[in-house]
């Protein structure tokens, strides 16, 4: 009868509602119980090149375990494997996680793009890009395309500023604190600032990210990584005199480079970015895809045409930039101290 159908429909509705509610509770419990990359109760701090400013280090085991989960190429680097994509095992990856292929075309610079929803119970999707490039596998050059404005502005039209605010003072200390040598040797680490321009979907965003480079010298491989700094470090943000922008958060970032020959390498780029605000991911994901494609198009042209003079000029420029990073960091810190003093005098006058 009709009344029986109505009662059955109501029962079904409430059963589904209860299941969804329990699922949400389970996800929340998983999210709260999952180990955090930054663990204030047991964190270690190292001095930066700016006097009086220390950098909180992540739990490297948690950080690299997450990279290990979502990046088969990074997994290969940590396990000492050579050969790039030809020697990775995707079966385990795809049997344990629901990856969705967004694009796949071997003739393109970025020959595969995949998406993973709800990794670590975070609403932002995780995107994975794969590319095979010609040229020398040099992590410093690739990292510069992401971390330094002069290089990044060549491919990222949305970038307003990006630079390293607080580079680590002593990388030997960092490597001593990384107990598991499967993670490679840290050749760069620091806190960086990034600001983007507004576009037709998103207003300006800013980020405060701890980034590093791990080198695996026996294989010539590298992992460039990054993770958003906790909000407790918002005081690290530059230009406190000006209005802050909406904060975007890189929950996880890695780019793994593995040589596939004397003059070629494979690259896997992974990013889980929470854009901030109330903008749904289906609007921002295509923008992220196009932006990362731009990185690889630029990298393709750069590495295919690199020569010895580029190598020498880059080393000289890198030394100059490293010196400038510390000077800019000191300048930002002095501005902050001066501003704090002015505010303090104003408060006392009131």
The sign of the dihedral angle between the CA atoms of 49, 50, 53, 56 is: negative
pLDDT in tens, 16-27: 333 333 334 333
Closest Cα to residue 215, out of 183, 261, 170?
Answer: 183
- For residues 119 and 99, is the Cβ–Cβ distance under 8 A? no
Mean pLDDT of the chain: 82
pLDDT in tens, 22-50: 334 333 444 445 788 988 766 789 999 99
pLDDT band of residue 119 (cuts 50, 70, 90) is very high
pLDDT band of residue 224 (cuts 50, 70, 90) is very high
pLDDT band of residue 279 (cuts 50, 70, 90) is confident
- For residues 126 and 115, is the Cβ–Cβ distance under 8 A? yes
pLDDT band of residue 280 (cuts 50, 70, 90) is confident
Global confidence as pTM: 0.81
Tokens of 45: 């701090």
**What whole-number distance in Å separates Cα of residue 223 and Cα of residue 183?**
9
Token pair 């505010």 in the structure block, residue: 343
Residue 120: strand, helix, or coil: helix
Tokens of 226: 């990054």
Top-confidence residue, 6 or 148:
148
Percent of the chain topping pLDDT 90:
61
């Amino acid at each position: 009868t009709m009344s029986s159908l109505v009662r059955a429909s109501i029962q079904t509705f409430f059963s589904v509602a209860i299941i969804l509610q329990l699922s949400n509770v389970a996800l929340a419990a998983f999210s709260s119980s999952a180990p955090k990359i930054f663990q204030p109760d047991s964190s270690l701090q190292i001095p930066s090149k700016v006097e009086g400013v220390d950098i909180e280090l992540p739990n490297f085991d948690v950080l690299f375990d997450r990279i290990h989960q979502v990046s088969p190429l990074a997994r290969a680097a940590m396990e000492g494997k050579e050969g790039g994509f030809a020697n990775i095992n995707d079966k385990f990856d795809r049997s344990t996680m629901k990856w969705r292929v967004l694009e796949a075309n071997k003739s393109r610079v970025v020959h595969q793009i995949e998406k993973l929803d709800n990794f670590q119970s975070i609403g932002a999707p995780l995107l994975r890009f794969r590319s095979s490039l010609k040229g020398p596998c040099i992590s410093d050059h690739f990292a510069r395309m992401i971390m330094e404005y002069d290089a990044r502005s060549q491919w990222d039209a949305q970038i307003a500023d990006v630079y390293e605010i607080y580079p680590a003072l002593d990388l030997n200390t960092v490597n001593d604190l990384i107990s598991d040598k499967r993670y490679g040797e840290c050749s760069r680490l620091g806190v960086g600032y990034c600001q983007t321009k507004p576009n037709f979907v998103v207003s300006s965003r800013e980020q405060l990210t701890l980034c590093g480079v791990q080198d695996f010298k026996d294989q010539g491989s590298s992992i460039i990584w990054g993770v958003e700094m906790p909000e407790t470090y918002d005081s690290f943000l530059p230009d406190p005199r000006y209005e802050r922008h909406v904060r975007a958060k890189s929950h996880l970032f890695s780019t793994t480079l593995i040589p596939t020959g004397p003059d070629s390498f494979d690259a896997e780029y992974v990013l889980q970015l929470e854009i901030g605000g109330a903008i749904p991911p289906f609007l921002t994901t295509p923008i992220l895809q196009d932006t990362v494609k731009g990185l690889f198009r630029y990298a393709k042209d750069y590495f295919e045409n690199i020569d010895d003079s580029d190598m020498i000029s880059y080393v000289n420029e890198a030394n100059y930039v490293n010196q400038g990073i510390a000077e800019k960091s000191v300048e930002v810190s002095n501005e902050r101290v001066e501003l704090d003093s002015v505010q303090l005098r104003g408060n006392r006058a009131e």
